[in-house]
Amino acid sequence: MSVRVSTGGRLHFGFTNLSLSHERLYGGLGLALREPRTVVVADPAEAVVCDHPDAAEYARRAASLLDVPGARVTVERAIPRHAGIGSGTQLALATLVAVGRANGVDPAVRDLAPDLGRGGRSGVGVAAFESGGFVLDAGHPTARFTTSRPADGDWTVPPVAATHRIPEGWRFLLVLPDLDVGRSGEAEDESMRTVVERADPTVSNRIAGVLARRVLPAIATGNAERFGSAVAEVGRLNGTWYADEQGGTYRPPVGELVATLSEAPAVFGAGQSSWGPAVYGVTDARNAPAARDAGENALDAAGVEGTVRIVRGRNRGARVDDRNDGG
């Protein structure tokens, strides 16, 4: 059985709490995108065969976890790596499902994600893979997740605390500047340890107010303008935690891009997704052309090359197509 798994990226607006003074740590919020996409194809094989280094490692882990011989794995498309739009988690989970289904096994994605090193802080990427939409996760018990996260596999993915469909008329401006990739791996772990050790708990209280009184009502009522303004405020407040680690509320020169976009009437709110360098803007179908122009203007104003896209939200999980050998 040949299997094709297709999944989209995600935006990560920030965390609800990074202070050890509160009961729950992290608590991510974000949403699933239709584009850019990762597409993984797997065919049964007696060993893992894959020329994509990251996918090959995930495929080997998947084969071991699922107790299957292997698979021939091909990555047809991939979300840009470490850009802040969820490349790692989507590739890991797409590979897991492709390897399993090619061998007649339907993997328990949420249960196995920690063994692939995913879902250690935010559960947004896993939930986006499972079902898409807007996601707020419940975070981890602070007593369990202190300044150093447990070893791979020694945690559970944070449960989904709230989810909503993304309104069909909403659009998202995605600006990918040609800058160094965002933090990942040990560098990200070290930065997060430092941030959590120093995090001001009063910022968490302010985020809680924005979330309860602005973010959730805005998506529940389908108000893109209020949603954009609210998630931008969540991102700005998160940036006060990260300022010492990334050189400002946003990593330079992302702050220039966000500032320029924030002045554009067609962009209802802008911010940095995860560690960046991806910059997002919230808009709608009517304002999408002007929002795209605003993205191009922001890159020009900052003197940075890059790509600008208008993308839709995604309200379904990864697509899995099982194909017989005959096609």
Q: What is the CATH number of the domain that holds 41?
A: 3.30.70.890
CB atoms within 10 A of CB 191: 16
- Angle value at C-alpha 68, between 66 and 74, nearest 5 degrees: 95
Residue type at 94? A
d(CA 137, CA 131): 13
Greater model confidence, 326 or 69: 69
The band of 231, judged by pLDDT with boundaries at 50, 70 and 90, is: very high
Tens of pLDDT, residue by residue over 235-261, are 999 999 988 878 788 988 899 999 999
pTM of the full structure? 0.93
What does the mean pLDDT of the chain come to? Answer: 93
68: domain range?
2-323
Beta-carbon contacts of 246 under 8 Å, excluding residues fewer than 6 positions away, are 191, 239, 275, 276
Residue type at 149? R
Say whether pLDDT at 144 is over 90.
no
Q: How many domains does the chain have?
A: 1
Tens of pLDDT, residue by residue over 93-142, are 999 999 999 999 999 999 999 999 999 889 999 999 999 999 999 999 88
CB atoms within 10 A of CB 317: 18
Tens of pLDDT, residue by residue over 297-308, are 999 999 999 999
Say whether pLDDT at 157 is over 60.
yes
Q: What is the pLDDT of residue 50?
A: 98
